[in-house]
């Protein structure tokens, strides 16, 4: 298996909801098997078990709450997420932002449950701050480019290279993913050339007419 990582965030897209989540995950699994590249998915909470129990690939939660067992109605409890089959979680996505204290607490909560952590950031400074907290990955995604179809690797390559340098300087064990506007093979290739180990992406694949074909194009230049 390649060291490259692709994580597909299904968000709340109808195409990635319920049985749609399973279909997208199955496409990811088939392309991962054919390419040797690790591909994971981040479905909605209610679909974690559905996907993890039917498709053999890494499943991530879209977030979690740093709460323990007890009186925490309405929160996303880490044990429930893990028992549903997740192997990791996104933290601080631009559509679900947290305070620095909650990012730290979420990383600790996930780590204590042996879940991998992907902390989303939006620039070099926040990437550096996130790296100091010791997640497994930092995923740098300028929010203005998310869903734009304009890859950050082309629109703002300095934010990727700068994040890679800052993260490596602060905590070499943390790896960097590149996000926002990623959808094509040239986008992934460019992200890797800039020093990231993979990508976090969403609409370019989930909402594609043929997600498997879109994924095959994504990995075609690696």
The domain limits of the chain are 5-218
Give 39's strand partners.
6
Task: List, in sequence order, the alpha helices (H) in 119-156.
Answer: 124-131, 152-155
Which residues does 21 contact at the CB level (< 8 Å), separation at least 6?
A: 10, 41, 43, 44, 47, 50, 51
Does the pLDDT value for residue 195 go beyond 80? yes
Mean pLDDT of 161-186: 91
Distance CA 4, CA 88 (A): 16
pTM for this structure? Answer: 0.95
In angstroms, the Cα distances linking 115 to 60, 61, 83, 143, 162 are 9, 10, 11, 25, 27
Distance CA 136, CA 205 (A): 24
Cross-sheet strand order for the sheet of 5-9: 38-42, 5-9, 198-201, 175-179, 137-140, 116-121, 88-91, 60-61
Distance CA 144, CA 88 (A): 26
Catalytic site residue from 38, 95, 141, 165: 141
Single out the residue of 177, 193, 165, 65 nearest to residue 121, CA to CA: 177
Each residue's pLDDT tens digit, 49-76 = 999 999 999 999 999 999 999 999 999 9
Distance CA 10, CA 42 (A): 6
Distance CA 181, CA 147 (A): 6
pLDDT bracket for residue 158 (50, 70, 90) = confident
pLDDT value at position 44? 98
pLDDT value at position 148? 60
Does the pLDDT value for residue 181 go beyond 80? no
Per cent of the chain over pLDDT 90 is: 81
Burial of 210 (0-12, 13-18, 19+ CB in 10 A): exposed
| Binding-site sequence positions for substrate | 9-11, 146, 181, 202-203
pLDDT value at position 222? 86
Mean pLDDT of 89-100: 95
Class of the CATH domain delimited by 5-218: alpha beta
Does the pLDDT value for residue 180 go beyond 80? no
Annotated active-site residue 93? The verdict is yes
Does the pLDDT value for residue 164 go beyond 80? yes
For the residues of 66-81, what is the DSSP string, one character each? ---SSS-TT---HHHH
Catalytic site residue from 15, 30, 75, 93: 93
Annotated active-site residue 158? The verdict is no
């Amino acid at each position: 298996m390649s060291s490259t990582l692709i994580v597909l965030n299904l968000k709340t897209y109808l195409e990635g909801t319920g049985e749609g989540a399973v279909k997208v995950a199955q496409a990811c699994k088939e392309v991962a098997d054919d390419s040797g590249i690790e591909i994971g998915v981040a479905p909605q909470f209610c679909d974690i078990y559905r996907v993890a129990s039917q498709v053999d690939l890494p499943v991530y939660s879209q977030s979690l709450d740093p709460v323990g067992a007890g009186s925490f109605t309405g929160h996303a409890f880490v044990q429930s997420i893990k028992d549903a089959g997740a192997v990791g979680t996104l933290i601080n996505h631009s559509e679900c932002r947290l305070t620095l204290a909650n990012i730290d607490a979420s990383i600790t909560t996930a780590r204590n449950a042996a879940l991998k952590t992907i902390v989303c950031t939006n620039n070099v400074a926040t990437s550096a701050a996130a790296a100091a907290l010791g997640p497994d990955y930092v995923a740098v995604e300028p929010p203005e480019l998310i869903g734009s179809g304009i890859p950050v690797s082309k629109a703002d390559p300095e934010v990727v290279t700068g994040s890679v340098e800052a993260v490596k300087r602060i905590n070499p064990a943390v790896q960097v993913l590149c996000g926002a506007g990623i959808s094509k093979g040239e986008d992934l290739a460019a992200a890797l050339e800039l020093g990231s180990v993979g990508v976090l992406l969403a609409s370019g694949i989930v909402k594609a007419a043929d997600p498997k074909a879109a994924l095959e194009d994504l990995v075609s230049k690696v």
